[in-house]
Every structure is written in C-alpha cells, then in structure tokens.
C-alpha cells in the first residue's frame, strides 16, 4: 500500500482547515491485517520537513526498513517500509504516527496519526459474540490558528477540539441489550483522556493490544497519550447517554483538562439478548514469577521552566546508546519521576508487565506498552526481550516532552 504525506485543506469537525494528512485525510485509512502477515508500505513525503513512520505497539523488528524510528524520509523522497509480523502477534488495537525527531509533536498534532487493527481478538469471545458490531473510537484533538490546525507553540492544556474519528460529538447507535466491541485509542500528541460512559461500564478485553487473562469491568478508564483499550459495551434501556472525558489533572506542575462530551450513544430498536461474558478471556504471559536477569532505574526529570526534559539526566542523542539489554532475558525497571507532573512511559518493540505503582502491587491482567508514571512517584515494570535485536527507544509519549529531550536509545543485543 501507499501513504502520501502532505499538507492540505480538509473538512474536519464541520470546518475547512489546513492539516497534515495521510492520503489526504485528517482521519486516515485504518490499516488492518492478521498475525503472520507481511505489509509492504511506500511512504511518500510531500512535506517541507523530514518524516517517518512508527507502528506503535507492534512487536516487529526495529531495524532496517521495518519499525525503525531513526529513518529520515526527506522532502520529495519515497521510502519503502517492509514489516513481517510474527505469527504470535497479539490481536487488538494499535496505531501509527510520525516519530520524526524533534518534530513528532508538530506532525502528530497536525493530523499525522491513524489506527491499526490486528484481527483475532474475537476468537476469545463466546461463539455468539464473535461477529458483533465494532466501532473504532479514535480520540484525536486539534487546536486552531486561523484556518489551520496549529502545529507550533502548542500549550498542552489550551482549549482544544476533542474529536472521535475526526468528528465532534458523533452519534453511535446500539440496540437495548446488544453487545458491541469498541476500540478506544488515544492517538493525540499530548493530552490525556479520562473516559466514562454515563450509566454504563466498560468491560475491558484488551489493553494496548494485549488481550487480558480475565475480563474486568471499569466505570472509567484513563488513557494517557498513546494508550488503547478494547472494550465491550452493552446497550442500555432506550434513550441516549454520553461518552465523555472527565476533568483530569496531571499534577501540580502539569496540566488540567476539563470535562468534554465526546460522542452520544443512542440505544434504540428491537431489544436483543446476548450471552453473559466469560470471566476468563485469553492466555497471557505472566512475568511475576519470572527470573529477573537485570534491574535498572530509569529517571524522568525536567528543568524548572518545563522546557527541557531528561532521562537519567541526559537529553536524547540518537548516536548514544543509553540502555543495552540482552535478547531472551527478563529485566525489571523502576521508572522514577522526579518532576511534579505525570509522564506517559512508552517503550518500543517489547511490551511490559506493570508490577507496582508507588510501591503498591499492581495486579496485572496482561501486558501493555504505555503507562502513567505518577508525579513525584514511580512504577516498576518487567519486560521480556524476545525475537528482535537492534536499536530502538523508550520515551515519554507526551510528544512535547519527547521532542524536548525525554527519550533514550535502547539497544537489544544477542
């Protein structure tokens, strides 16, 4: 397939605005494939700055012309990506976006992000739920400057337009009693979503495209920048309710996000009865009892003005290896946050198990690739390095922080 990157005028949220687009759309094509597939993708850059492509969360090689974030596709160039996905690739919702340092915030905020779906999640559901209606709910926000989506000088907590699939407060329809699969994905550059479906619960079946070992109910879900949840929603009595993001604070030195309505769920039509959900769901890797081969401390910090960001006291340098880990080993990392605002920890290539938050054990239902690091707090994770060697990165997925230095090079070696 081909992806063309260009700045063009688009219809978005009822307005005509200049945006940074994939194939001419603010909400670009959803890439969909199965474990074991191969994807050949030609990316043509019609921008005036370099770009590249990151397939967020996918367990795939970080080297060569695969998920290599060190690639620069210069203006006027076309680069041919080639991805060979493993047969055991976890099914669920992923996303793709620019990882062009130091302009990833500008490019993603301008519109350069889209959804990836790896099929197979429904195999773990009861037979009569395997063909249920599915909705992608891509959470994507934009600020404006004149007749354009703003890309420079972004204030994270400034008023913004929070869209679902590029639409303001769209309507989602469901029948009373019907079960639907919703693919919730925060594909914005910086902001956090704190989701609630009024009067309903989310039944979580996957986090960050990792099927859970047990389905769990949640009244609300926090999605830091980069995070996803696949959830089941059951239609309530006839009427309407709101999918909303609740007020949320990222700390005294961070950002305050207000409440906003995102979509309206309308329950109508012939009621339906579908089976109860199973308590167990999918097999998962549990690293809780694994032998730990190495332990590390990763420290996130920033300068008092909040303009420079650091990992272990250093700003990102693509020519320096900061962490070197061995293939087929398990490592335990303490991610410590020395700032008074939350950060969104993300690592490429291999997912991790969240073990504890501020010293309290976390009872994980599976792996993930993004986690909130509390302000002036810490998390402990374990990760298993499998299948691939090469240079990749770990970083804060608040892209303004990443671009300002909060990223480090991880090299996986034999």
Q: How far apart are CA 85 and CA 8, in angstroms?
A: 32
Contact 225, 191 (CB under 8 A): yes
Q: How far apart are CA 186 and CA 201, in angstroms?
A: 19
Q: How far apart are CA 74 and CA 327, in angstroms?
A: 32
Query: Rounded to whole angstroms, what are the CA distances from 83 to 65, 94, 348?
Result: 8, 15, 15
Q: How far apart are CA 168 and CA 254, in angstroms?
A: 26
pLDDT in the model for residue 274: 73
Instruction: Name the phi and psi angles at 7, rounded to 5.
Output: -90, 125
Identical fold, 2-119 and 124-267: yes
pTM for this entry: 0.97
pLDDT in the model for residue 186: 98
The predicted-structure confidence for 250-292, as pLDDT tens digits, reads as follows 999 999 999 999 999 999 999 998 778 888 899 999 999 999 9
Q: How far apart are CA 395 and CA 158, in angstroms?
A: 23
Alpha helices in 24-143 (DSSP H): 104-109
The H or E element spanning position 348 is none
What CATH code is assigned to 2-119? 2.60.40.420
| Residue indicated by tokens 């309206």 | 264
The predicted-structure confidence for 304-320, as pLDDT tens digits, reads as follows 999 999 999 999 999 99
| Residue indicated by tokens 């991790």 | 352
pLDDT in the model for residue 351: 98
What CATH code is assigned to 124-267? 2.60.40.420
The H or E element spanning position 400 is helix 399-403
Residue 229 reports pLDDT greater than 80: yes
The H or E element spanning position 72 is none
Nearest alpha carbon to residue 362 among 258, 286, 282:
286
The predicted-structure confidence for 329-356, as pLDDT tens digits, reads as follows 999 999 999 999 999 999 999 999 999 9
Nearest alpha carbon to residue 36 among 6, 4, 58, 62:
58
Give the start-to-end residue ranges of the domains of the chain.
2-119, 124-267, 294-413
The torsion defined by the Cα of 321, 324, 327 and 329, in degrees rounded to 10, comes to -150
Q: How many residues does the chain have?
A: 414
Chain-centroid distance, C-alpha 109 = 14
The predicted-structure confidence for 111-147, as pLDDT tens digits, reads as follows 999 999 999 999 999 998 999 999 999 999 999 999 9
| Residue indicated by tokens 């604070």 | 249
Q: How far apart are CA 374 and CA 354, in angstroms?
A: 13
Contact 209, 115 (CB under 8 A): no
Instruction: Name the phi and psi angles at 88, rounded to 5.
Output: -100, 20
DSSP string, 82-146: EEE--TTPPPEEEEEE---TT-HHHHHHTT-EEEEEES-GGGGS-GGGTT--EEEEEEEEE-EET
Q: Are strands 330-337 and 360-361 parallel, antiparallel or unpaired?
A: unpaired
The predicted-structure confidence for 9-48, as pLDDT tens digits, reads as follows 999 988 999 999 999 999 999 999 999 999 999 999 999 9
The CATH homologous superfamily for domain 294-413 is Cupredoxins -  blue copper proteins (2.60.40.420)
Q: Measure CA of the first residue to CA of the last residue in the chain; give whole Å.
A: 33
């Amino acid at each position: 397939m081909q992806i063309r990157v260009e700045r063009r005028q688009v219809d978005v949220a009822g307005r005509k605005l200049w945006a940074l687009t994939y194939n001419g759309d603010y909400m670009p094509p959803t890439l969909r494939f199965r474990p074991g597939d191969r994807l050949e993708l030609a990316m043509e850059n019609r921008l005036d700055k370099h770009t590249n492509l990151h397939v967020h969360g996918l367990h795939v090689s970080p080297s060569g012309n695969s998920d290599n974030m060190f690639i620069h596709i210069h203006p006027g160039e076309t680069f041919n990506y080639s991805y060979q996905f493993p047969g055991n690739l976890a099914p669920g919702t992923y996303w793709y976006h620019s990882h062009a340092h130091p302009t990833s915030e500008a490019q993603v905020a301008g519109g350069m992000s889209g959804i990836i779906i790896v099929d197979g999640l429904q195999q773990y559901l009861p037979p009569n739920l395997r063909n249920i209606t599915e909705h992608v709910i891509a959470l994507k926000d934009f600020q404006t400057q004149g007749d354009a989506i703003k890309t420079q000088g972004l204030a994270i907590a400034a008023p913004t337009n929070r869209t679902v699939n590029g639409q303001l407060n769209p309507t989602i329809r469901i029948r009373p009693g019907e079960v639907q699969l919703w693919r919730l994905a925060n594909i914005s550059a910086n902001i956090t979503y704190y989701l609630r479906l009024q009067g309903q619960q989310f039944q979580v079946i996957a986090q960050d495209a990792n099927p859970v070992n047990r389905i769990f109910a949640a009244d609300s879900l926090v999605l830091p920048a980069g995070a996803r949840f696949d959830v089941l929603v059951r239609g309530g009595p006839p009427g309407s309710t709101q999918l909303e993001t609740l007020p949320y604070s990222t700390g005294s030195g961070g950002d305050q996000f207000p409440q906003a309505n995102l979509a309206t769920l309308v329950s109508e039509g012939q009621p339906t009865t579908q089976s109860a959900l199973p308590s167990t769901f999918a097999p998962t890797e549990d690293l809780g009892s694994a032998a730990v081969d190495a332990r590390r401390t990763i420290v996130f910090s920033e300068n008092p003005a909040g303009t420079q960001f650091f990992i272990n006291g250093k700003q990102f340098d693509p020519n320096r290896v900061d962490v070197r880990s061995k293939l087929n080993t398990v490592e335990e990392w303490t991610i410590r946050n020395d700032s008074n605002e939350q950060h969104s920890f993300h690592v490429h290539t291999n997912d991790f198990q969240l073990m504890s938050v501020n010293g309290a054990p976390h009872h994980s239902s599976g792996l993930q690739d993004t986690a909130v690091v509390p302000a002036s707090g810490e998390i402990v994770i374990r990760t298993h390095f499998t299948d691939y060697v090469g240079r990749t990165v770990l970083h804060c997925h608040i892209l303004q922080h990443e671009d300002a230095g909060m990223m480090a090079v991880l090299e996986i070696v034999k």
